[in-house]
Structure 1
Amino acid sequence: MYGHVEKLAREMQKGAASIEGVEVKLWQVAETLPAEILAKMGAPPKGNAPIIAPDDLVEADGFAFGFPTRFGMMPAQFKAFFDATGAIWKNQQLAGKPAGIFYSTGSQGGGQETTALTAITQLVHHGMIFVPIGYTFGVDMFDMEDIKGGSPYGAGTFAGDGSKQPTEVELEQAYYQGQYIATITKKLKGSSA
């Protein structure tokens, strides 16, 4: 709601684009809440990324799906998008494509890892290959001095009431994950050519 996922996505986009031969597109899913409800919530305007349609997925070689959490799961807007991919699922048009996940939660107990675990079911039913970052990001994943989001499942941040912005380490992790998923995607694409 506060633009935290978009900030991570923009860093991932930079990271992925830093890999030679990789083209990166940034999309957002359609909003499902009425404008008057969003206004009452104090939601800021949406970013300028185009709205993705299910068929747009077919053209991509790999994915990094990012979303805020809602009670330890992806929000209804993202679930509605995946629910609209039935024809693609039926034909298994996403099978074998790599996909990573990243997220933002309102608090430390907001469900970053459960969000990833529940989102993986969408990937599995499509036959996609889940590409977690594991602990490949390095020593910052072991730092216990600072509050930071992210896990072996993917980059993450904490939004709180919107005043806490993604930290430098969280943005670096997102950049790294962009590089990582792009490298894996490129390797898989190259081996199938």
Structure 2
Amino acid sequence: MTKILVLYYSLHGNTRQLARHISRGIEQVDGCEAVLRTVAEIATITTTTQTVTALNTTDPIVSHHDLKQCAAIAMGSPVRFGNMAAPLKHFLDTTSGEWLSGTLIGKPACVFTSSSSLHGGQETTLQSMMLPLLHHGMLIVGIPYSEPLLHTTSYGGTPYGASHINHGISKQLHPDEIALAQAIGRRLATIASKLNG
């Protein structure tokens, strides 16, 4: 079984929804299994009980062992001023051991994000997540323009990765966002299977 790590941080649940749909896309590829993981919250002076409660999820906290076991990674974060959220960056900052040993070299990876506005920094956030993956020697997988929805959607979805725009009306993903999230999951799984086979 080709195990693909779907690693995310989500405060309000939007990025978590994308992670779930990417996982569904992964599991549409024979022999592939999505392994959902999140990262631990960072306690700060601004953390409140309400914030910590919002983080409750049934997905386990990622471990360094998960990085060794996976054949690929899908990594997601909400937009934080055009960058990935601090808890995800904090976890990545602890992966020097994997960098030194080359654990992730040659494995494919994709990225995903969500924001509350159309021009909220989605593409820079996706690119910010790519940088540590490139330093680890991973192979970045995007969404090609052979996906017809990429040409027509006015919701989330970029060639850099899957995305969601919460227009403040509903936290539900638009059908275009769901389809593009599943498409990148399938693409990541297909490539991982070929490289793993």
**Is TM more than 0.5 here?**
yes
Q: In structure 1, what residue type is equivalent to 2:124? A: T
The verdict on how the C-alpha distance between 1:79 and 1:36 changes in structure 2, with shifts beyond 3 A counting, is: closer
Paired residues of 1:22 and 1:186 also in contact (CA < 8 A): yes
Provide the residue aligned with 1:102 in structure 2: 112
2 CA distance for matches of 1:112 and 1:36?
24
Q: Comparing both structures, which one devotes a greater share of its residues to strand?
A: 2
Give the aligned partner of residue 20 of structure 1.
30
The alignment covers a number of residue pairs equal to 187
1:160 is displaced (CA, Å) by 4.8
C-alpha spacing 1:159/1:42, structure 2 compared with 1 (3 Å):
farther
Q: Could you tell me how far apart the structure 1 residues matched to 2:81 and 2:44 are?
A: 20
Distance 2:167 2:57 in 1: 19
TM-score normalised according to structure 1 size = 0.89
Deviations 1:57-87 (A, max 9, x none): 1110001101111011111000001001011
- Aligned residue number for residue 4 of structure 1: 14
In the superposition, the TM-score normalised over structure 2's length comes to 0.87
Separation of aligned partners in 2, 1:39 and 1:16? 34
Please identify, of 85-94 and 159-168, the stretch whose mean Cα deviation from structure 2 is larger: 159-168
SS at match of 1:23: strand
Q: Could you tell me which residue of structure 1 aligns to residue 163 of structure 2?
A: 156
| Distance apart, 1:42 and its partner CA | 8.6
Identity of matched residues, %:
36
Root-mean-square deviation (Å): 2.0
Please point out which of 16, 25, 43 is paired with 1:33.
43
Opposite residue 77 of structure 2, the aligned amino acid is F
Residue 110 to residue 60, structure 1, CA distance change in 2 (3 Å): same
Give yes or no for contact 1:112–1:150 (8 Å, CA) kept in 2.
Answer: no
Q: Structure 1 residues 36, 122: closer, same or farther in 2, change over 3 A?
A: closer
1:84 and 2:94 matched: yes
Provide runs of 4+ in structure 1 moved above 3 Å. 33-36, 38-43, 160-164
Secondary structure of the corresponding residue to residue 95 of structure 1: coil
Alpha-carbon shift at residue 180 of structure 1 (Å) = 0.9
